Chain A
């Protein structure tokens, strides 16, 4: 039968705090890693990507860190705002094909 409810990992933060969302990936041969944001009822929205030969990349209020040793990716959001509330997905890209993680729900309390 169909699953009931969402059992995503959830991160709750206060407005203004920094948020860190983590992701483990599986393929050491992946070329790129991407973070997407998905608001309720909408398609995912690209946030930032990082090439596999980089360790860190910064965007506007966001930083992605890549640790290839332990196959770990993180997204840091500075000064989190209520509008940042969404589900965040990481994806690894191998030969143009993305494999998505399950997602983390970020809840920002005003």
Chain B
């Protein structure tokens, strides 16, 4: 069956440009999470959605970061005015519901800001 998909798989952008990253969760999964993973580091929580509402945005690093979710499907993470320190792999995960510990991860989007 289809797992979590993310696009693009790789994105190279220039400093100051905006980027939009997409996540398609597993159908029927109501919870969706975004993480950032820098080279050689663990995952850094950014935001999660329960349905299309985001109860906790505390992990977003700055106001340049925002995320939306349409219903219980696709989510987009937008980074405005990208900086070099935004370079990382951005991972999305979904789970059947909030509180279900088994999250299913996508392959990630590798973002490089030049």
Binding site for B on A (CB under 8 A): 2-3, 5-8, 32, 34, 41-46, 49, 89, 91, 93, 95-103
Contact = CB atoms under 8 A, between A and B. Distances in A.
Given A43-B93, A49-B102, A93-B101, A100 B87 contact: no
A100 B4 CA distance: 20
Contacts of B103: 46, 98
Contacts of A44: 43, 91, 93, 105
Contacts, number: 65
A23 to B, nearest CB: 10
B101 A100 contact: no
Contacts of B99: 96
Chain B interface size, as a band, is 20 to 34
B42 interface: yes
B56 interface: yes
B105 A43 contact: yes
A41 B110 CA distance: 10
Most buried by B among A3, A6, A96: A96
A97 B48 contact: yes
B106 interface: yes
Most buried by B among A7, A42, A43, A98: A43
Given A2-B87, A32-B101, A96 B56 contact: yes
Contacts of A5: 40
Which 6 A-B residue pairs are closest in the complex by CB-CB distance? A43-B105, A100-B42, A6-B40, A100-B43, A49-B101, A46-B102
Given A5-B40, A44-B91, A103-B42, A96 B98 contact: yes
